[in-house]
Chain A
Amino acid sequence: MTLAQARQVGPSPFVSRKAEKSEPETAPAADTVDKLFVYGSLNNDYHFQLLTGRILPSEMALLLNHRKISPANGFPFAISWQGSTIEGRVLFDITPSILEKLDDYESEGDLYFRKIAQVRMGGELHNAYVYVGNAQALQHYFERGYKERDRIEEFVHKSVNHYLEEQADRCLVVDQEKLPLKVTRELLSEEIHGLMRQYFHDAGLPPFIIKHEIEKANIPELSWVTANRKALRYADNYMTLATKFMVFNQLEERFRDEYRAHVTVSDSYYMHTISALMALKLLVDQNQQFQSALTQLGVNRFDPSFKYTDYAVAAIFIAEELYTKPRADEVADWIQSNRRVGVSPLGAELEFSNLGVRAIKATEGEDPVYDSFYYFYQFDLMRRGWKLGAHIDDHGFLTSTDVHSRGFLELAFGRYKLLGDVSKPATQDPWILAQIINLAILFIQVKPHSLHLSIEIALDAPFKPLEDPEFFLCLLLLGGDLREDQYGKLREMRIFGGEILHPDVGVCLSRLNRHHQDPDDRKWSTVVEYQFPRLKYDYDYQPLIMALKGFQLEANPYPLKDCRDCPHQDWHEELESSLMQWATFPTPISKSGLGKFLEIVEAGLDKEAAIIGPEYGRYAQRVLGRIEEQVKRRNQRISEYHVRSKKRPDRND
């Protein structure tokens, strides 16, 4: 739309009758106006810079005969309204090129109309441009819960898409509109996300950088597979997993797009957690159809005639088939009615391996399904599974795609930049965390092995010495792995089996860790990471998460590892040795120890409830009841085991 056309735009259908009757505003020739009145998203220098690359001089001002509407689930917009005013700023030195960018952002002529209106500034009247909203057109955004940041993201995506389209034409020739772009977006989604992050971090990026980054990002290929006989043996399973991740990615993006109000979290948290949970829920609930779709399209196997792009097309089709509005609404309602936002930022890492603890030292071919994920990076699976933080953990120091090693498939929720280990907390909500753990296990379909749970701690909360070693035993009862070994002896397998027992450092039950939130290391947080939990199918992790939270908030004990200034190392060594003894020969926890543990957890959760409110308090009490029930039930099992053992003639512990 030209400036002349802009002036001719009639009153919006949403302009009030009062406004319609008002006298037309004085509109001087467009070329004399170099001011813009801003009142919403644009009235923020950071946003303005993101959109135009500039910060302009400004002055406080009042827009006359307009009213600001601020929908609860959206962003503010102005409508004409005789006699009303809007507070804001006038930006000076507006140029045609700035207006062109802003018109593009505001979808001028559709979502907004750019008009010339009167503003009062320093007691004088001036003419300035203003973007007036088209409420009917904006409604579509509000229904989906779009906020200012989402619109800016959409705007940046538009410019990224411009360069992606060039790449798309090279990647796939097909007669279906938008499919090549969708495929390219899927295959380069990690790079696109990286660009978006950088765009917001640097308050804008020059177009040539976007172009360069997209051009250098490679579309994965499969031509190498047939020449690699060893990899070929496992190619069916790797490509199935790759396609599964791509279907998941498609659904996650769809949920992010359609349910902004449900999925948006504060910038301190990982932005994909809730949408990932929604996508997993939709997939796991329809797992049978999902598996059947993979089979029927032939993407549950490696086909030498297929390119990676063909697998991506299949994933897009499957996602479109599985996603229906009623199903998506059900998932959204499920999320909405169960959320329990607490105060402590939480994170989780899940390890999977068909070989269990032998994953790290596995020999070639020992794992018949994935060869212990030796070819994970070659099949480009880290880029496919980045939203879930998928990588291989060989218990080395750093994640690197250059090194081939066997290990665990690890999902690290919130670890959004795998190379460089940059992460944000996954969530503040124990219910969300528990659900995503369970659904991820069902989605991955590799034997679950271990779980690390992280709780961010306040820097001003000093660690305290642990009062009673039985408290850790209570935690082990809740989250460890109590089972009979091959000889029928009851053991706590995480410690007894040497899984969290390091020859040099001892029992790695908990450790102090630092999580970097940006690649420049300017922002980091301190977390206590509990490494003892067993990852299991069909298990509700809420009691464990809440117990750890309550325990940490109230007792705040020194982590056993990596806490350099801990003055209780000797005591920790004794404690570890008693944990090892207990894991070898578990005995029931004393009533008083159990009682004290529950009191501590309750006190911690009460602190949280005092900040959040009574509804959270009631939830915490319910979970506390389940914590008590679970610990007592397992304690009872140990007692019964000892009674039976005494009766056995061959008892030999």
Chain B
Amino acid sequence: MFDPRKDLIATISQHKAELIKNVCNRLQKLERSHYEAIDFERHQEREEAMLHALLKGMEEADYFTFLDYIEKIAGKRSNEGYSLDEVQNAVTVFEEELWHVLTKFVPIEPPLIDMLAICNRVFGKAKDHLARTYLKEAVETQKELDDLRKRFFIYQQEQKEIADSAHPHEAY
């Protein structure tokens, strides 16, 4: 019986070398992004890790392994100064290259549509997860810095008062 998940995993596994190479070459061409200035071999290691998590996640009903991986990557990249756009673009590059591999090697028949639907779902969830993690990190960091904000505000107020007392407003 046809199981689109299993077939999808098998097809990706079979063509993973080509997929990884294409993703790495494209990422190195993403102008004005961090990815442009990363060594090919380092990209290869990163994308292999991502593919590993993707394949494992596809075996699970809730894609937990993949989404967990995405969350960790989001935290790491966010701390390294990558913008959300940049990381989402990189995930899109991966997704597009995956589609290319599938459309190249799987006949254009209904099973392909099922496979693409799975890809669509898993990457949709991944991008959603990515954005949520970025937002969550930003909110948490903001809370941690409340005292710092207050301290600077007090300093600014003090400066303002000093300036006002030095140059009192003229009466209209």
Q: Which residues of A contact B (CB under 8 A)?
A: 173-176, 285-289, 291-293, 296-297, 310, 313-314, 317-318, 321, 354, 442, 445, 447-448, 482-484, 486, 488, 535-539, 630, 633-634, 637
What CA separation (Å) do A350 and B123 show in the bound complex? 37
Q: Which residues of chain B from 16 to 51 have any CB-CB distance to chain A below 8 Å in the complex?
A: 25, 28-29, 32, 34, 36-42
What CA separation (Å) do A445 and B25 show in the bound complex? 22
What CA separation (Å) do A407 and B82 show in the bound complex? 24
A296 contacts B145, C-beta separation under 8 Å = yes
Q: Which residues of chain B from 138 to 172 have any CB-CB distance to chain A below 8 Å in the complex?
A: 138, 141-142, 144-145, 147-149, 151-152, 155-156, 158-159, 162
Query: What are 29 inter-chain pairs, A to B, with CB distance below 8 A?
Result: A174-B158, A287-B79, A288-B78, A288-B79, A288-B141, A291-B81, A292-B138, A292-B141, A292-B145, A296-B142, A296-B145, A310-B159, A313-B155, A314-B152, A317-B148, A318-B148, A321-B145, A321-B147, A442-B81, A482-B40, A483-B25, A483-B40, A484-B25, A484-B28, A536-B37, A538-B42, A539-B39, A633-B41, A637-B41
Chain B contact residue count (CB 8 A cutoff): 32
- Chain A residue contacts of B155, Cβ below 8 A: 174, 176, 313, 317
Known A296-B142, A310-B159, A354-B32; judge A321-B148 contact (CB<8 A): yes
- Which of A291, A537, A539 has the largest count of B CB atoms less than 10 A from its CB? A537
What CA separation (Å) do A64 and B160 show in the bound complex? 63
A174 contacts B159, C-beta separation under 8 Å = yes
Q: Which residues of B contact A (CB under 8 A)?
A: 25, 28-29, 32, 34, 36-42, 78-81, 137-138, 141-142, 144-145, 147-149, 151-152, 155-156, 158-159, 162
- Chain A residue contacts of B29, Cβ below 8 A: 486
B157, chain A: closest CB distance, angstroms? 11
- Chain B residue contacts of A354, Cβ below 8 A: 32
What CA separation (Å) do A447 and B31 show in the bound complex? 10
Q: Which of A174, A285, A296 is within 8 Å of B149, CB to CB?
A: A296
What CA separation (Å) do A539 and B152 show in the bound complex? 37
A483 contacts B37, C-beta separation under 8 Å = no
A386, chain B: closest CB distance, angstroms? 23
What CA separation (Å) do A538 and B27 show in the bound complex? 14
B98, chain A: closest CB distance, angstroms? 20
B41 contacts A537, C-beta separation under 8 Å = no
Known A288-B141, A447-B37; judge A442-B152 contact (CB<8 A): no
Q: Which of A174, A176, A288, A634 is within 8 Å of B41, CB to CB?
A: A634
- Chain A residue contacts of B152, Cβ below 8 A: 297, 313-314, 317
Residue of B nearest to A447 (CB): B37
B37 contacts A173, C-beta separation under 8 Å = no
What CA separation (Å) do A633 and B43 show in the bound complex? 13
- Chain B residue contacts of A293, Cβ below 8 A: 145, 148
A289 contacts B34, C-beta separation under 8 Å = no
A296 contacts B148, C-beta separation under 8 Å = yes
What CA separation (Å) do A286 and B145 show in the bound complex? 12
Known A292-B145, A297-B148, A313-B152; judge A536-B162 contact (CB<8 A): no
B32 contacts A539, C-beta separation under 8 Å = no
A292 contacts B38, C-beta separation under 8 Å = no
What CA separation (Å) do A275 and B143 show in the bound complex? 30
A537 contacts B145, C-beta separation under 8 Å = no
Known A287-B81, A292-B138; judge A537-B37 contact (CB<8 A): yes
